[in-house]
Structure formats: C-alpha cells, structure tokens
Amino acid sequence: MRLTDRNPLRKPTRDNSGGTPGTMTQTFSYDATDLNIVEQLRLNGRANNQQIAEKLGLTATTVSTRIKRMEDADQLRVVAVSDFTAHGFNVLLRISVQVDGRPASEVAAELAALPEVFATHLVTGRYDIDMLVALHDFDDLSQFLLDDLSGIRGIRSLTPAVVVDIIKYKFDVAPIAGRSGVTKGGEG
C-alpha cells in the first residue's frame, strides 16, 4: 500500500456544504499531527488506526478522525500500487502533443479517457499536452499512435519518446482532487 497526499501547505478543498459541486471555497492545512499520521501511512499503508496511535501517542479515535478529515478534504488517499509489468505493460512512452483548432483542455480530456494513458498534463512551452502512456509491447505502438490518437480532433503533432529506463518514479505524492470534472489520482 502506498499513500498519496497533497502538498502539506494550505490547499483549497471541495465545498461539501451543499453548494456548487467541485467548487473550491475552503482551505485545508495540515498540522504536525496530520503530518505524523501521513508519515506513518507512508511507512506502512496497511497499519491500522490503533498501530498508528500507539506509535504517535494518540488514541485510535483521534487517528481515525484525522484520516477521515484528510480524506473528506481530498488531501489523502491510501492506495495499493503495483508495477507496470504486473499488468503486462512493457513499453512506456512520453508523448508531447501540439494542439490546433480546439482548446487543449478538451483534447487533454479526450486523451485522458484512453485506457493506455496513465497521466495527462497541460503544459507550457512548445507543446500543449504531455502524457505518459503504457503499452503491452511494441506491436501496440503503431495502432495507438496511428489509429487511436488520429481519431482525436485537434491534435496537430505528436512527439513520442520511448522510456528506456526509469530512474525515479515517485508515486507517494500525487494530485487527488479532480478539477472541472476531470478525475485525478489514478481514477477513471
């Protein structure tokens, strides 16, 4: 089990007061106790509230309440993480995309819906979108690039780069809260 959490600085959270869904109106701030709980979960994502409480000198109820508050604020999620190869993905690509004639956010949302796409980012610079793609093998590459991506309107150019080695892939910190109806944090 691994933990994903937002930046431990003040961050906006969803308004759960019955207002417009997804509006960002409140702020969340971690305190030292929250950060200690997060660190314990990073060390052992399977630890139960009692085990965490004993290590930190708290009650299990306090730990449970704190975890629920962070989860409700979209600031914490405990997840299982597995290797790409465990799912049969043997080819990783970084693909940079230039967009023309359509908002980049619309193209990015369509790209994000493809099952092979693990991450999609709107970026500045020469390209409009950067994405991480996982394929089972190189036989899937031409179909993905020529068939799947060619069906998406607004793509002007693609620059794929095959990942030859992963030096660092930090997966215990990630965006959780969705924005504008787009899901983040690995959910479909």
Q: pLDDT band for 42, please (50, 70, 90 cuts).
A: confident
Q: Are residues 123 and 57 in the same domain?
A: no
Single residue among 79, 109, 128 that ends a domain in this structure? 79
Mean pLDDT of the 43-62 span: 93
- Both tokens of 180, joined, read 């504008």
In terms of Cα–Cα distance, which of 79, 178, 90 is closest to 138?
A: 90
CATH no. for residue 34?
A: 1.10.10.10
- Both tokens of 6, joined, read 């937002």
- The tally of domains found in the chain comes to 2
Domain that holds residue 68: 2-79
Nearest-angstrom CA–CA distance, 130 and 123: 7
pTM greater than the 0.75 cutoff: no
Per-residue DSSP letter, 25: E
Q: Are residues 73 and 111 in the same domain?
A: no
- Both tokens of 24, joined, read 């960002």
Task: Name residue 131's beta-bridge partners.
Answer: 95, 120
Encode pLDDT of 60-70 as tens digits: 999 999 999 98
Is 16 inside any structural domain?
Answer: yes
Q: Are residues 92 and 158 in the same domain?
A: yes
C-alpha torsion 66→46→118→106, nearest 10: -20
Least reliable range by pLDDT among 108-112, 119-123, 139-143:
139-143
Q: Are residues 54 and 112 in the same domain?
A: no
pLDDT reading at 188 higher than 50: no
User: For 140, what's the count of Cα atoms within 13 Å in the CB-facing half-sphere?
Assistant: 14
Instruction: Look up tokens 């899901």; give the residue.
Output: 183
Instruction: Look up tokens 């949302």; give the residue.
Output: 109
Is 48 inside any structural domain?
Answer: yes
